[in-house]
Chains A and B, each alone.
Chain A
Amino acid sequence: MPTDTLPNPEKNPARSTGELIRLEQVTKRFGSNTVLDHLDFSVDAGKHVTLIGPSGSGKTTILRLLMTLLKPDEGTITVDGQKLFPASDKEVREVRKKIGMVFQQFNLFPNMSVLRNITEAPVTVLGMSKDEAVERAKGLLEMVGLSDKCDAHPAQLSGGQQQRVAIARALAMRPQVLLLDEVTSALDPELVAGVLDVLRDIARSTDITMLCVTHEMNFARDISDQVLMFDSGRVIESGPPEKIFSEPEQDRTREFLSAVL
């Protein structure tokens, strides 16, 4: 893997340490349904945090709030010391550069080649030269094991391959934070391992902060520094994975884990 394809501390001296993401008293409602209820929550730079819990408990909503795909009804969201909510459009665009997201349904652009999916945003948003963007994209494709697919279109790839391209596309923007929203849920079982291996690799070899919503508990156990158990829009238990998975304190956590493991 080329060393300059991914952010690392030497090349990014401004990269922050300490607290990177902070949600304060964040409430999100959909109609009369309160999905997040005055949530306080923070993540330190470089940490890998996994959100677990039953569906509808608000895990995905947190990722979507951070990606500014949703706006909270109340509260404040701060990323790397800059306001993400409330904030002006210009401020939001600035902060959003620090965040990348990989979606459950991949969401690659079907009208573009694999290579252009990855180079489009670095060129148009970061102002990178085309040559540099292509070179970096090729490095990223090599990392996710798809060097031979540069000119393919998404429709010609399997779900697992598409998701690996989507990971490369997110990393091409050099985000400080990578949001992973159930990235293996839409995949056929035999394709899950390839995607998770790529993510393990990234977790090991970079300092990207990862926020991960997943039902893959083994994966969560492997990569997480911290696991948060959600229920009804609140964090009911948090701690290192060894503790949450082996000796959960809450009955609700025990019930959930015995249902999914």
Chain B
Amino acid sequence: MNWDWSAVSDFMPDFWKGLLVTLQILVIGSLISFALGLVWALLMRLPTRWVTWPVGVVTEFVRNTPLLVQLFFLYYVLPEWGLTFSALATGVFAIGLHYSTYTMQVYRAGIEAVPVGQWEAATALNLPLRRTWSAVILPQAVRRVVPALGNYVIAMLKDTPMLMAISVLEMLGHARLFSQEHFQFTEPLTVIGVAFIVISYLASLLLRALERRLAH
């Protein structure tokens, strides 16, 4: 096996394009999964089965079917219903939705871990329910779950190459194209491997900083 530095430098322009797409998927996908997961977790706490039952069924379904199937479904079936989005938009939404069914369970655990005395103190002070959630319960619950959410960010990063299946060219997609055109596989694949490690390391640093910021 020969290592060719010129192949690395030839690949770099494509690499930067792929990196940008990977980061877009990761950042927007994470934000969607954080927000949507919280919505699911809160809906599941409503006292009416008319809400909890459908939300439960949908999220179970999404969590227990492969991301790849969901990608194909959204990419090929939605246009038949007249809903057309770019491959990247579809992919980002699919991965955000998929991971939201995991983050909802993280939030649930975080909410349940807030001591019952906090609810009682809020009641004793006559705080409205909305205020109890926004000022007392959620700040404490979210602080507890940041490390667990961070794990899902890393897991999501490792799932971003799946978007290749619906023609999104992220890092792996560009590496694959480059390899096929130049018959050089080692260099581009090594470069993106290192990039994945660097991104997950930086993401974990960022999340740890967030954790410290939220500590009280």
Q: A interface vs B, CB < 8 Å?
A: 67-69, 93, 96-97, 99-101, 103, 105, 107-112, 120-121, 124-125, 153, 155, 169-170, 173
Specify which of A97, A108, A111, A155 is in contact with B126 (CB 8 Å cutoff).
A97
- Tell me whether A103 and B123 are in contact (CB under 8 A): no
Decide if B190 is an interface residue (CB 8 Å cutoff). Answer: no
Interface positions, chain B 86-112, Cβ under 8 Å from A, are none
- Tell me whether B123 and A153 are in contact (CB under 8 A): no
- Tell me whether B121 and A108 are in contact (CB under 8 A): yes
Specify which of B126, B127, B216 is in contact with A110 (CB 8 Å cutoff).
B216
Q: How far is the CA of A67 from the CA of B216 in the complex (A)?
A: 28
Specify which of B121, B126, B143, B216 is in contact with A107 (CB 8 Å cutoff).
B121
Q: How far is the CA of A17 from the CA of B117 in the complex (A)?
A: 32
- Tell me whether A110 and B121 are in contact (CB under 8 A): no
Q: Which residue of A lies closest to B140 (CB)?
A: A111
- Tell me whether A155 and B216 are in contact (CB under 8 A): yes
Q: How far is the CA of A31 from the CA of B58 in the complex (A)?
A: 36
Chain B: interface residue total (CB-CB under 8 A)? 18
- Tell me whether A125 and B125 are in contact (CB under 8 A): yes
For the complex formed, measure the closest distance between the CB of A177 and the CB atoms of chain B, giving whole angstroms: 11
For the complex formed, measure the closest distance between the CB of B7 and the CB atoms of chain A, giving whole angstroms: 53
Question: Which residues from chain A contact B124 at a C-beta distance below 8 Å?
Answer: 67, 69, 96, 99-101, 103, 170
Q: How far is the CA of A110 from the CA of B118 in the complex (A)?
A: 9
Q: B interface vs A, CB < 8 Å?
A: 115, 117-118, 120-121, 123-128, 131, 135-136, 139-140, 143, 216
Q: A-side binding surface: helix, strand, loop or mixed?
A: loop
- Tell me whether B139 and A120 are in contact (CB under 8 A): no
For the complex formed, measure the closest distance between the CB of A208 and the CB atoms of chain B, giving whole angstroms: 15
- Tell me whether A109 and B126 are in contact (CB under 8 A): no
Q: Which residue of B lies closest to A67 (CB)?
A: B124
For the complex formed, measure the closest distance between the CB of B76 and the CB atoms of chain A, giving whole angstroms: 46
Question: Which residues from chain A contact B120 at a C-beta distance below 8 Å?
Answer: 67, 69, 103, 107
Question: Which residues from chain B contact A96 at a C-beta distance below 8 Å?
Answer: 123-124, 126
Q: How far is the CA of A110 from the CA of B216 in the complex (A)?
A: 7
Question: Which residues from chain B contact A108 at a C-beta distance below 8 Å?
Answer: 121
Q: How far is the CA of A96 from the CA of B128 in the complex (A)?
A: 12
Known contacts A103-B117, A108-B121, A109-B118: A121-B216 contact under CB 8 Å: no
For the complex formed, measure the closest distance between the CB of B100 and the CB atoms of chain A, giving whole angstroms: 24
For the complex formed, measure the closest distance between the CB of A74 and the CB atoms of chain B, giving whole angstroms: 22
- Tell me whether B125 and A111 are in contact (CB under 8 A): no
**13 CB-based A-B contacts, threshold 8 Å:** A69-B123, A96-B124, A96-B126, A97-B126, A100-B125, A103-B117, A105-B115, A107-B115, A107-B120, A108-B121, A109-B118, A153-B216, A170-B124
Q: Which residue of A lies closest to B123 (CB)?
A: A69
- Tell me whether B121 and A125 are in contact (CB under 8 A): no
- Tell me whether A121 and B123 are in contact (CB under 8 A): no
Known contacts A120-B135, A153-B216, A155-B216: A109-B121 contact under CB 8 Å: yes
- Tell me whether B117 and A173 are in contact (CB under 8 A): no
Q: How far is the CA of A194 from the CA of B162 in the complex (A)?
A: 63
Q: How far is the CA of A97 from the CA of B123 in the complex (A)?
A: 10
- Tell me whether A105 and B117 are in contact (CB under 8 A): yes
Known contacts A105-B117, A111-B216: A169-B125 contact under CB 8 Å: yes
Question: Which residues from chain B contact A173 at a C-beta distance below 8 Å?
Answer: 125-126
Question: Which residues from chain A contact B131 at a C-beta distance below 8 Å?
Answer: 124
Question: Which residues from chain B contact A100 at a C-beta distance below 8 Å?
Answer: 124-125
Question: Which residues from chain B contact A112 at a C-beta distance below 8 Å?
Answer: 135
- Tell me whether B128 and A103 are in contact (CB under 8 A): no
- Tell me whether B140 and A107 are in contact (CB under 8 A): no
* The 3 A-B residue pairs with the shortest CB-CB distance in the complex, in nearest-first order: A121-B125, A107-B121, A107-B117
For the complex formed, measure the closest distance between the CB of A181 and the CB atoms of chain B, giving whole angstroms: 10
For the complex formed, measure the closest distance between the CB of B49 and the CB atoms of chain A, giving whole angstroms: 21
Q: How far is the CA of A12 from the CA of B197 in the complex (A)?
A: 67
Q: How far is the CA of A121 from the CA of B131 in the complex (A)?
A: 10
Question: Which residues from chain A contact B139 at a C-beta distance below 8 Å?
Answer: 111
For the complex formed, measure the closest distance between the CB of A174 and the CB atoms of chain B, giving whole angstroms: 12
Q: Which residue of A lies closest to B139 (CB)?
A: A111
Question: Which residues from chain A contact B121 at a C-beta distance below 8 Å?
Answer: 103, 107-109
Q: How far is the CA of A34 from the CA of B120 in the complex (A)?
A: 23
Known contacts A103-B117, A124-B131, A155-B216: A109-B136 contact under CB 8 Å: yes
- Tell me whether A107 and B118 are in contact (CB under 8 A): yes
- Tell me whether B127 and A125 are in contact (CB under 8 A): yes
Question: Which residues from chain A contact B136 at a C-beta distance below 8 Å?
Answer: 109, 111
